[in-house]
Every structure is written in structure tokens, then in C-alpha cells.
Structure 1
Amino acid sequence: MIQMNIAWKARLGQAMVAATTAWGLLTSAQAQSVQGVTNTEIVLGTHQDLSGPVSSIGSHLRDGLQLAVDDINAAGGVHGRKVRLIVEDSAFDPKKAVLATQKLVNQDKIFALIAPLGSAPVQASMNIALEQDVPLLFAGTPADFTYKPFHKLKFGLAVPYGEQVRAMTKYAVEKMGKKKFGILYQDDETGQNVLRAVEEQLKVHGMAVAERASYKRGEVDFSSQISRLKAANVDVVMLGTIVRETAAAKMEARKQGWPVDMMVSQAGMYETVIKIAGEAAEGLYAMAQYLPIRTQEQTPPLQAAVKRYQDKFNKEPDDGMVYGYLAMSVFAEGARNAGKTLNQETLVKGLEQIRNFKTVFAATPVSFGPNERLGSRSAILTQVKGAKFVPITGPLDY
């Protein structure tokens, strides 16, 4: 009888060990059943322009993403899981973006696609991710398709240029007392978007655009356009321009001795504009979702982040890295809110809980909700003073 009890206890012990092992394997399998998520790691992917026409933006956006990954992991990760980022080069080519996304989703098995850069590359590739239940998070473009039409796995973060322009137009009417609006805009969807936004907001105020002047993409001689706007005697010029064109417009107005106020969206709020235009850039108004690093309040946390960046990349940080850092930080906040069980459903719920989120970098706060897939609809109005973009308002919306 004693021998039978011993044998029975031995078998019972073996069964318990086997059951514990099986439970451990089952738990591990469950954790790994979600693509890109294990007990120890979250794998994210992105495609950036690292060798094409806007590589200066793409490389810094990538750096911002990676700096945030380092900070998140140094703080223990997300519920014990470390974040790993895989980066592919799209060269700002939609076809290469498609191939990059296919690799990230099908071979690298990423959990989410985060902050991919560029309207055309993202639009061409985003459905590859969404159709396989891979969240598309915070694409690096202000295009409406980053959050519309509503999709449970699609979240936008970049304030659309149209919304920036409407807020800026409202400010010009209500706070600056502007009454006669002119617009200089690129003759394509980018410029037309700005034109529509100005017209829509002016209609709210019972006003209309007094004069329009368009230009072809790549054109930087605006002598005739500025002359036309000047002859119309407008008291503010809204710019549907990007970097070089913004500088060229300010330089031409100065050349013609016309000190008119000019206002541009974040598309023209780059320090390169100041470098090109020099003194002519003074007075330019520009909207900003985030401020240039050197114009931000140099708080100890900001200085520490800049120091970490300099040590890691052996260069000075560029403004584009702020968006990357913000995007990765927002993801981490949503994943923390999701709890220890991370999957598409819990991530969505975790992101929807975010309210007024900020990082060490000065930017408009981020909030989501069950019916809100755009993280911010406001921007800060800045003005060039002393060769710097200086904030003159808090976050504005229309």
C-alpha cells in the first residue's frame, strides 16, 4: 500500500509538471498568436524616405522614432515588453513603399505600421497593412485619408493643412482685423486644398477671397503673381506654398517694396525658409503642430532628450525628429493603456483613452476617442522674429 501511494504521488507530481508545462506553452502560444507581439517584444515597422527627394525629413523622422524606442525600453518597455523598430527605405516612391510594406507585414510580421512618410507612398501601401489587420498609426502626412473614412485600425496624428489654414484664416479675421484676402497657391491638389480651406472659412465670416494667383509646381519666379496681388490691394496673402516657394514669395514682396502680411501652413514652416529668404522672411506667419527645437523653452527634460539624440546620432536634432518621437510615444501610451494583453482590439481601446497627451517637445496635445481618429485638430501660430519662428499663440482651431 505504501509503495502504491508513493507511485501514485510520483505519477501525480509528473502530471502536475506536465500540466504546468502545457499551460506555459499554451500561454506562450497565446501571446505569440498576435503578429509582432511576444512575451518580451513588440515589433513595429515603418517606411521612410532615406534616399529620395525628402530624405532630409525621412531620416530625422526615423531618428525620432528610434530615440523614443530607446527611451521607452530604457524605462522598462511596455508592460515588460521591449519595442523593436524595423525601418525600410521607400525613397519616396509609391512602388517601393508597397514592396517595403509587403516585407514588413508578411516577412517581418510587424504588429503595427507606424509613422510611414509621404502622402503618395502611404496611400499606395496602407491597405496592405489594414487588410491583414495591421494597424496604420500616425502616418507622416497631413492627408485626410490617414484618418478618413473611419477605420478602427487607422489613426492620424498630423493636423491636416486644410484645418491649419482654416484656423489661421479665422485668426487673421478675428484677431488681426484682416478684411481683404489674397492667396498664392500651387496649381495642384496641395495648393487647391489651401484655397478651399481659405474660401470655406471666409464664408463663415461672410467674406470671400479678393484675389487669386496660382503657379505651377517647381516655379519660384513670382514677380507677376505678387504684382497681381499687390494691385488688388489685399491686406494679407495666404500661401498655398511649400519651402522654396514660401521663401520666394517673401523675397519677391520685399523686392517690390510691399510689406504685406503673409501666412503659411506648416508646409512652409521650416528653418530652411529663413536660410533662403534671409531678412525677407521676417514677419512671416506660419502654423505649427510642433515648434522648432531651438525656439522651444529649453527645459531640463528637453535638454536631456537633445543630449541623448546628439550622443546616439552624433549630430544636431532636426525638427522632423519631433514628429517621430511623438508618434512612437503616443503608441507606447496606447499600448500601456491596453494592459498586459496586447492585440489589435486592446490597442484600439488603449489609444481611444488618450487625452491631452504631450512629450518633452512642444507640440499641440493629442487626444483620441471611440469616434475620433485624428489626434490633434489644432496648431500654434508662429511668426518669424529675429530669424526664428516664435510662437505667438497657444493651440488654435477653427
Structure 2
Amino acid sequence: MKLISLLRSALAALIVGVAPAVAGVADIVIGQVAAFSGPLAPTGTHMRAGAQLYFDAVNAEGGVHGARIRLISKDDGYKTDETVRLARELLKESRPLAFIGFVGTGNVEAMLEKKVLSDAGIPLIAVRTGAASVVQRNDPLLFLTRASYAEEVQKIIDQYATTGYTRFAILYQDDAFGRDVLGSTEQAISKAGGTLLATDSYPKNTTEVGAAVKTIAAAKPQAVIMIANTAASAEFLKQS
């Protein structure tokens, strides 16, 4: 529900901002490139569902100055090269007014580094990342709707501190996302006076966490901070 609420707020702001420009237009195309297959498919699917739910509600009320909102989504499988390729393909084929709901730190970074947004002159709204490498860019075409990962993990560690948990281990995804949050988590543990007993990773786009389970279990932490996608987190819990 929180995700849908955030998307609704972001989309409402977009619609209000573009309304004068779309009078007389048959369709307002919004583009999305996200993971609808692979380990991160649930996240991409939920992002799409939240956006579509709101667009359907707007269209049911007559759209925006009579123009209907049409969401076109493409599956990048959580692969950064595919994110850029499919975004450019979508721009060429459908000429979207804006992008929404992209998933993944490295995927969003690639969009910015390859200048896909600036070259097209369109915004990207409500991305599924809170990495410092994205948040601190202050890109005028990137609109964030969530707290940073650093803020989130600090709250998690602070909460553990109130319950007397001081011995931690970290599981992280070995990519831009995982390494970004790993640094923030290490800092948060140190700031709270905790001890980091073990750290291990798993490859992106997999659920290969077996080795990490053994490493972390051997350290006997009181709590494990998982910087991981849904499928990998679930697999870690199954094997623990």
C-alpha cells in the first residue's frame, strides 16, 4: 500500500504538470523498463501494478483533458545493458511523455551515465533505488519518491540497538546496489557501537547464497542485515 501511495503522489504531480500540454492528444504514453522476469520480477511487477492502478482510475474519470494514459512496459530482466537498450527502443517506437518505475541501482545509474534522459529531455519518476550514487546526483530529470538506503539502514541498526542487539553480519548482492548499501551499513553499525562479525555476498541475478549462509552462520551473529533482492533473501532464510 505504501508503494502504491508513493506512486500515486508522484503520478498525480506529473499529470498536473503536463495537463496543459496534452490538451487534444489522444493518448499520453508513459514508459517503463523494469524486471518482469528473473529474481527481481516481483518488484517490477508490483511497480507496474501500482502505476496501472492509478492510470486506470484517472482514465475512468475521463483522463487528462480527454487524453487517456497508456502505460507501456518492457522487461529488462534486471540487466543494465537491456535497461538502456529497451528505454531507447521505447523512445523511438512510442515517444513517451515520461518514464516511471525503473528497478535497480545499476540500471538507473546506466540510464544517467548513458544520458538517455537528458538526450530525450524527459523525466524518470519513482525509481526503485535509494543508493547514494543515485540520490546524490541531484539530476533535474530524476524524481525520487523514497528515502535513501543510508537513511533506511541507519533506522534499522538504531532499532536493533534499542533491543540490545550489537553483533551483526551482512549479506549483500555483489553489484552497485549491494556495495553502496554495504558501506552505509558498516558505518551505521560502527556509529551504533556494534560489531560486524561477518560479511559475504552472492552474484547479482541469482539466488546462490549457500556459501554466504555457511560463512554467516559460523560467525553466530545476533542479527543479519540482508542487502538483497526478494528471491535471494528468501533463499537465505530457507538455508539458514
Deviation at 1:211? Answer: 1.4
Identify the match of residue 77 of structure 2 among 91, 116, 135: 91
Q: 1:176 to 1:80 in 2, by over 3 A?
A: farther
Structure whose CA Rg is larger: 1
Calculate percent identity across the aligned residue pairs.
Answer: 23
Name the CA distance, whole Å, in 2 between partners of 1:42 and 1:52. Answer: 29
Deviation at 1:210? Answer: 4.1
Which deviations, in whole Å up to 9, do the C-alpha atoms of 1:328-378 show, x marking residues without a partner? Answer: xxxxxxxxxxxxxxxxxxxxxxxxxxxxxxxxxxxxxxxxxxxxxxxxxxx
Identify the match of residue 225 of structure 1 among 175, 191, 216: 216
SS in structure 2 of the partner of residue 246 of structure 1: helix
1:160-171 paired onto structure 2 within 5 Å: 160-171=148-159
- Unaligned stretches of 5+ residues in structure 1: 1-30, 254-398
Aligned residue number for residue 48 of structure 1: 34
Aligned residue number for residue 39 of structure 1: 24
Q: 1:121 to 1:241 in 2, by over 3 A?
A: closer
Name the CA distance, whole Å, in 1 between partners of 2:236 and 2:82. Answer: 34
Tell me, yes or no, if structure 1 residue 153 matches structure 2 residue 136.
no
Which deviations, in whole Å up to 9, do the C-alpha atoms of 1:126-149 show, x marking residues without a partner? Answer: 421223210111123333444431
Name the CA distance, whole Å, in 1 between partners of 2:149 and 2:19. Answer: 40
- Note if contact 1:226-1:249 (Cα within 8 Å) is conserved in structure 2: no
Name the CA distance, whole Å, in 2 between partners of 1:131 and 1:33. Answer: 23
Q: 1:182 to 1:38 in 2, by over 3 A?
A: same
Deviation at 1:32? Answer: 11
SS in structure 2 of the partner of residue 92 of structure 1: coil
Identify the match of residue 209 of structure 1 among 195, 208, 214: 195
Deviation at 1:226? Answer: 0.9
SS in structure 1 of the partner of residue 47 of structure 2: helix
SS in structure 2 of the partner of residue 157 of structure 1: coil
Name the CA distance, whole Å, in 2 between partners of 1:79 and 1:183. Answer: 54
Deviation at 1:204? Answer: 3.6
- Note if contact 2:131-2:180 (Cα within 8 Å) is conserved in structure 1: no
- Note if contact 1:181-1:210 (Cα within 8 Å) is conserved in structure 2: yes
Tell me, yes or no, if structure 1 residue 186 matches structure 2 residue 172.
yes
Which deviations, in whole Å up to 9, do the C-alpha atoms of 1:141-161 show, x marking residues without a partner? Answer: 333444431122211124333
SS in structure 1 of the partner of residue 139 of structure 2: coil
Name the CA distance, whole Å, in 1 between partners of 2:173 and 2:53. Answer: 38
Letter in 2 for 1:39: G
Q: What TM-score comes out, normalization by structure 1 length?
A: 0.46
- Note if contact 1:139-1:146 (Cα within 8 Å) is conserved in structure 2: no
Equivalent residue pairs, number: 214
Tell me, yes or no, if structure 1 residue 195 matches structure 2 residue 186.
no
- Note if contact 1:199-1:208 (Cα within 8 Å) is conserved in structure 2: no
- Alignment RMSD: 3.1
Q: 1:44 to 1:216 in 2, by over 3 A?
A: closer
Range with greater deviation from structure 2 (111-120 or 44-53): 44-53
Aligned residue number for residue 135 of structure 1: 123
Q: 1:44 to 1:239 in 2, by over 3 A?
A: closer
- Unaligned stretches of 5+ residues in structure 2: 1-17
